[in-house]
């Protein structure tokens, strides 16, 4: 069980202690995102490993909004896994959102981030037995949570715009996790950013070829 503590060091890199949780969670996450960019269905089962390990990490570093996000990720990954199997059978192409849908998702994401951020900011007062410390960066963390839910849902439904949202989320997370001193996870999101840029290009190419 000691492997599931963020302060249990697996190895040290450039004077930074990397825990078992960070290492295996990060590797699984990088592989899962790369497979998503390649439209490979194995992104979902491998992503489940990342989700379970990151749930534990975020609880331990008081990023409670991100912790709750992993619960959603678990459910949507099961759905995405099934949906991609189904879509592969009937060959549904990559889709794009209409402008009104983009506006609705933008306003909804910002509004829900404020509401959820207020809740997360006060969660240690609501459930002090479980959340013994105040949340770190509650509003920023909540935006990451809500935006990630939107992006992952669009990914599961094979909407191209998921990669634009992931690029924004990844940039924020690079700094957020660096501030919380989980540097290996911050580095993971730098890799995610590069993969998201590739995924944006790859899916757009696939979409345009499908329009020919």
Q: Count CB neighbours of 127 within 10 A.
A: 11
The set of long-range contacts for 25-32, using a CB threshold of 8 Å and a minimum separation of 24, is 25/49, 25/50, 25/53, 25/54, 25/57, 25/185, 26/50, 26/184, 26/185, 26/187, 26/188, 28/53, 29/54, 29/188, 29/192, 30/188, 30/191, 30/192, 30/195
Closest among 84, 50, 66 to 155, alpha carbons compared: 84
Strands (E), the chain: 9-13, 16-19
Query: Which 8-state DSSP code applies to residue 95?
Result: B
- The pLDDT tens digits of the residues spanning 133-186 come to 888 888 998 999 899 989 988 987 889 999 999 999 999 999 988 887 878 788
- The pLDDT tens digits of the residues spanning 38-70 come to 878 898 899 999 999 989 888 888 778 788 888
Q: Domain coordinates of the chain in residue numbers?
A: 2-211
């Amino acid at each position: 069980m000691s492997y599931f503590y963020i302060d249990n060091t697996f190895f040290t890199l450039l004077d930074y202690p990397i825990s078992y949780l960070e290492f295996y969670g990060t590797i699984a996450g990088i592989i899962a995102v790369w497979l998503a960019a390649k439209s490979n269905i194995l992104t979902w089962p491998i992503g489940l490993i990342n989700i379970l390990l990151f749930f534990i990490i975020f609880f331990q570093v008081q990023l409670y909004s991100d912790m709750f996000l992993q619960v959603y990720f678990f459910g949507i990954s099961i759905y995405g896994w099934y949906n991609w199997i189904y879509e592969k059978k009937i060959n549904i192409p990559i889709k794009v959102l209409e402008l009104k849908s983009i506006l609705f998702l933008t306003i909804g994401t910002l509004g829900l981030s404020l509401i959820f951020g207020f809740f997360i900011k006060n969660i240690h007062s609501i459930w002090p037995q479980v959340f013994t410390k105040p949340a770190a960066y509650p509003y920023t963390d909540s935006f990451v949570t809500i935006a990630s839910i939107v992006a992952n849902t669009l990914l599961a439904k094979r909407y191209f715009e998921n990669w634009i949202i992931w690029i924004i989320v990844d940039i924020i997370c690079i700094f957020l996790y660096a501030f919380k001193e989980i540097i290996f996870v911050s580095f993971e999101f730098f890799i995610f950013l590069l993969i998201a840029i590739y995924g944006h290009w790859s899916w757009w190419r696939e979409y345009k070829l499908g329009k020919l």
